[in-house]
Structure 1
Amino acid sequence: MIVVRLGRPADVDALLALAEKAGPGMTTLKPDRIAQVARLERVQRTIEHTVALCEQGYLFVMEDTASQRVVGVSGLEVAVGMKQPFYTYRIDTNVHGSLALGTWRMSEKLSVSHDLTGATELCTLFLDPDFRGNGNGALLSKSRLMFVAEFRERFGEHICAEMRGHFDENGASPFWDALGAHFYGIGFHEADALIALGKKTFLAELMPRYPVYVDFLPKTARDCIGRTHVDTTPARRLLESEGFRLDKHIDIFEGGPVLQARIDTLRVMRDSRRYNVETSRSSTRRATAQQRFLVSTGSIEDFRVACLSTETEDDVLPLTREQAAALHVAPGALVRAMKLYPNETASSMTTALTSWPSDDVDRGCPVTHP
């Protein structure tokens, strides 16, 4: 069975193996043992509330319980920008008019912004290519939202996710080449690597001091504003189905969208609810009557999420003994459950299991900066 749980120090070798598969494009998952050990230790301190708010973060791993193999990772930063600045470009609209000429014009400008300081951030999402499909990508991504719903008091008002921006057929960023390269004097990948190492002072020292008028950028760069990398488009659609939206903020490097939401407006806050577990030796219900649910436990020390085919009955969630064992829950335990997809029905799931498109996963990583 596939289960998502909180990462622990023993997972460091598995994280390093995933980092090798992720490649250089994912700056928050590097094959650096010291960095990964420190991050897993930070998870434990965050759980125990022994670390300042600006340092708090969680890391989740997806595990195949049959082989005990870690096959995916996803992250959650509690409050960005409180230790190191969290920069974005904010898209502002200017209106210029002339009574004498009887005309007016609307134009957009990009202003360096710290507006998202203190927001929770979804980050570090990667799934082993061998395990993509069958809803695993959605489980890996949405498990973080189930965690936020279960432990709402640990988070603030807003949540965001930086999505990887558009690159051309040569692997270059037209947005960076037209804007950032002129101010920083280094290549995109070099700047990206510095960010991954936590060396962000060059941003404040060299970034534009005044707003940048979008009309002055070449069309190739303008077309990148708010545009998602082709490999990250499924991840964006998934988050938008949960209540995230593009609202004026883009990445300062490649112009990708920064999706945002108020936590209390997310689907998980509206549609998930608690149920009492009822177990049986096996499922006796018709497969056509079952739907896919995200089911999470209420223990922060042993938080676990799985995508299970079942059905709800009033305040009861029937689970097989195998499912209950994978979640580490006993009969009568309280769990949180929500449909995997907002509009999925039992009949549509039957079709989905045999013909679901291959991009039904967060292919790659939706974020490229910590």
Structure 2
Amino acid sequence: MSFRLRAARPADIEPLYEMAKLTGGGFTNLPADRDALGAKLARAEDAFTRDDDELGDDLFVLVLENVETGQVRGTCQLFSQVGQRWPFYSYRLNTLTQHSQELGRTVRAELLSLVTDLEGSSEVGGLFLHPNERAGGLGLLLARSRYLFVAMHRARFAERILAELRGIIDDSGGSPFWDGVAGRFFGMSFQEADYFNAINGNQFIADLMPKHPVYVAMLEDEARKVIGLPHPTGRAAMRMLEKEGFAAEGYVDIFDGGPTMTARTDQVKSIRDSVPSTLSSTELDIGERALVATGTLGSFRCAYGMRELDADGNASIDERCARTLEVGPGDEIWSVAR
């Protein structure tokens, strides 16, 4: 079977809704709500059709398509700038050091401070792969295709990029971090707050969340020990982000305490190492394994293939990849080593 990433269309709402129901909560960018998903797809359509090639307030939604069957089996998203419609809140984990000369004692206290430091950054998120397709490197294709999209449309993205990883969720769908911190002030369960945020945004956090730092030592053990930890299903995603050059720098999600990873956009490995080429041949038998992409905005497509580059800016790819991407000699492609 052949798979490719392509721009999402309004008609993709039903497969996206069916996948959203499989996420198990804590997945703000893919809510199990048709109206919210429809609004996302409408916003993405506006982004894909915007003419001016500059940084805006865009959401791009991509889907993983089985070329043979036409089924949508995964999705991912890119935000050109977070914090434009409402503040983008994070907790920043830092340390306060105090010293008593009389006691001869130094005390270091960890604090969680509510910040909007990451406003204006681009974001990669919303990645979900259908449970029946979690083999064959499709998760990697979903994740890295986003970086090729950024490289091909670099003017539409910011200088810094972030990725939020889902935090620890217990067997009942609750969040120890939410229960120990924000939940005390809102009178809402994690599931209620997470769903409300997915549908309406997080302005209610600004309205109700105390602005004073939270001393970590005063939290219950269950909340304290999950700060900055990804959900077990997100550990592989965290390793992939680290390989791309993202790092955890003390920012955690205000809902579930999961880590927020950040990087300089131009230093993300798949963006930095991607190259544009003119396609010279689609009959390559043996070559370097790569991710190959083509198209602009709404016509974007990305798939696995083999490539061979020459010194003149030309590239050869294998016939299967060319068929999956619907490209031929003379077309422009972008590629990065797998």
Q: TM-score, normalised by structure 2?
A: 0.92
Amino acid at match of 1:308: G
Q: Report runs of 4+ in structure 1 exceeding 6 Å deviation.
A: 50-54
Deviation string 1:258-300 (CA, Å, 9 cap, x unpaired) is 111110111123211122323244x433xxxx44211111522
Shift of the alpha carbon at 1:139?
Answer: 0.5
Against the structure 1 CA distance between its residues 33 and 175, is the aligned structure 2 distance closer, same or farther, given a 3 Å change threshold?
closer
Deviation string 1:26-50 (CA, Å, 9 cap, x unpaired) is 3322343333333222222112327
Secondary structure of 1:96's match?
Answer: strand
Asked if structure 1 preserves the Cα contact closer than 8 Å seen for 2:166 and 2:231, the reply is yes
Secondary structure of 1:330's match?
Answer: coil
Partner of residue 167 from structure 1, selected from 169, 178, 182 = 169
Larger mean CA deviation between 181-190 and 15-24 belongs to: 15-24
Partner of residue 309 from structure 1, selected from 294, 306, 312 = 306
Partner of residue 320 from structure 2, selected from 319, 322, 332 = 322
Hey, what does 1:258 align to over in structure 2? 260
Question: What are structure 2's unaligned runs of at least 5 residues?
Answer: none
- Root-mean-square deviation over aligned CA pairs: 2.1
Asked if structure 1 preserves the Cα contact closer than 8 Å seen for 2:293 and 2:334, the reply is yes
Shift of the alpha carbon at 1:191?
Answer: 0.9
Asked if structure 2 preserves the Cα contact closer than 8 Å seen for 1:173 and 1:254, the reply is yes
Hey, what does 2:94 align to over in structure 1? 92
Question: What are structure 1's unaligned runs of at least 5 residues?
Answer: 341-370
Against the structure 1 CA distance between its residues 36 and 70, is the aligned structure 2 distance closer, same or farther, given a 3 Å change threshold?
same
Amino acid at match of 2:150: V
> Which of 1 and 2 has higher RCO (CA within 8 Å, sep 6+)?
1
Against the structure 1 CA distance between its residues 179 and 141, is the aligned structure 2 distance closer, same or farther, given a 3 Å change threshold?
same
Alignment map for 1:176-215 (pairs within 5 Å): 176-215=178-217
Hey, what does 1:16 align to over in structure 2? 17
Asked if structure 2 preserves the Cα contact closer than 8 Å seen for 1:279 and 1:324, the reply is no
Secondary structure of 2:22's match?
Answer: helix
Secondary structure of 1:253's match?
Answer: coil
Distance 1:114 1:299 in 2: 32
Distance 1:91 1:284 in 2: 51
Asked if structure 2 preserves the Cα contact closer than 8 Å seen for 1:54 and 1:83, the reply is no
Distance 2:282 2:197 in 1: 50
Distance 1:170 1:20 in 2: 16
Asked if structure 2 preserves the Cα contact closer than 8 Å seen for 1:275 and 1:317, the reply is yes
Larger mean CA deviation between 108-117 and 304-313 belongs to: 304-313
Distance 1:38 1:219 in 2: 39
Deviation string 1:57-82 (CA, Å, 9 cap, x unpaired) is 10000111111111111111111111
Hey, what does 2:155 align to over in structure 1? 153
Larger mean CA deviation between 94-103 and 314-323 belongs to: 314-323
Distance 1:207 1:126 in 2: 30
Identity of paired residues, percent?
38
Shift of the alpha carbon at 1:54?
Answer: 6.3
Asked if structure 2 preserves the Cα contact closer than 8 Å seen for 1:54 and 1:80, the reply is no
Deviation string 1:91-138 (CA, Å, 9 cap, x unpaired) is 122111123333322221111111111111112111111211111001
Hey, what does 2:136 align to over in structure 1? 134
Distance 1:264 1:211 in 2: 33
Q: How many residues align?
A: 335
Q: TM-score, normalised by structure 1?
A: 0.84
Distance 2:141 2:226 in 1: 29
Hey, what does 1:336 align to over in structure 2? 334
Shift of the alpha carbon at 1:217?
Answer: 1.5
